[in-house]
Amino acid sequence: MLDDFLVRAALAGLGVALAAAPLGCFVVWRRMAYFGDATAHAAILGVALSLLLSTSIFAGVLVVSLMMATLVSLLSGRGYAMDTLLGVMAHSALAFGLVAVSFLSGVRIDLMAYLFGDILAVGKGDLALIGGGALLVVCLVGWRWSALLTATLDGDLARASGIDPGREQLVLTLSLAVVVAVALKVVGVLLIAALLIIPAAAARPFCRTPEIMALLAAVIGAASTTGGLQAAYWLDTPTGPTIVSLAAILFALSSLAGQLKRRMSRAEPSSAAPPLSAAGTEQPTPGRCRAP
């Protein structure tokens, strides 16, 4: 069964989608979109160094992505606005990586495959790495889920609860580096951040708890990867961009459905009294999951 390249591609896409979903929720909640971009763009530099040193590309990308994410975390709050710092580092990492690739003499490299992904070329070894990396991220985020939520909600509250926000930031940093390393083959450097953010953003209007948002983001991400893979096969289009395009369409539909839902809620009669608790006090009506 795994000899079929479409089956391997579908399994690889599902693995990346499942790993990116819960992490993407924290990226959305913490407004870390540029953080994901900076880490992903550093992957090209990791590819160049791996080819130069004749080492595993996965290991090189993982190490460089982790170094970039750690560097961004250390430099944040040192006199620069976060969006400025991340913008400079994201584009600088990509530029240095592309320049480093140009110095590789005697090495044939398909740069487009690294920039936009080449999911159809996933082999059994790649599939094992993607599956192992996805499992590691899901287990790590699941293990630290409650602490990550508390640190995301309020740093002072986390410290009062005995949780170190810096440690939880390190967990996110490690998880993000692993996702970048495993997603490089699927959607490429330029589209990894999109696969992190778009499914989580599309799930946001329909959730009431963080856990539901993470699960729905995983479903949307899986639908985007498998549907995008099938659409690319039918339309003969680049697979990585097709996957992200389908995710963007689902986000647009989600936004329209969310707006329609809000309009219908406002149109309903507001004369009904809110539900009361056993003590006779009004209970708040649960709203959208804007943040944990």
The CA distance from 104 to 45, in Å, is: 12
| N-terminal to C-terminal alpha carbon distance within the chain | 41
Is the pLDDT assigned to residue 258 strictly greater than 50?
Answer: yes
How many domains is the chain partitioned into structurally?
Answer: 1
- With left for phi above 0 and alpha for psi between -120 and 50, is residue 110 left, alpha or beta? beta
CATH of the domain at 9: 1.10.3470.10
- Please write the tens of the pLDDT for every residue from 51-85: 878 788 888 888 888 888 777 777 766 656 666 77
Q: What is the mean pLDDT of residues 19-41?
A: 81
Supply the pTM of this predicted model: 0.79
Q: Which domain holds residue 124?
A: 5-190
Q: What is the mean pLDDT of residues 155-162?
A: 84
CA distances from 128 to 2, 4, 60, 209, 235 (A): 12, 15, 17, 32, 28
Is the pLDDT assigned to residue 133 strictly greater than 80?
Answer: yes
> Residue with structure tokens 């690739």?
101
Report yes or no on 95 lying in a domain.
yes
Report yes or no on 199 lying in a domain.
no
Report yes or no on 34 lying in a domain.
yes
**Which range has highest mean pLDDT (32-36, 93-97, 216-220, 279-283)?**
216-220
Q: Determine the Cα angle at 66 with ends 127 and 123, to 5°.
A: 15
What does the pLDDT read at residue 285? 43
Report yes or no on 64 lying in a domain.
yes
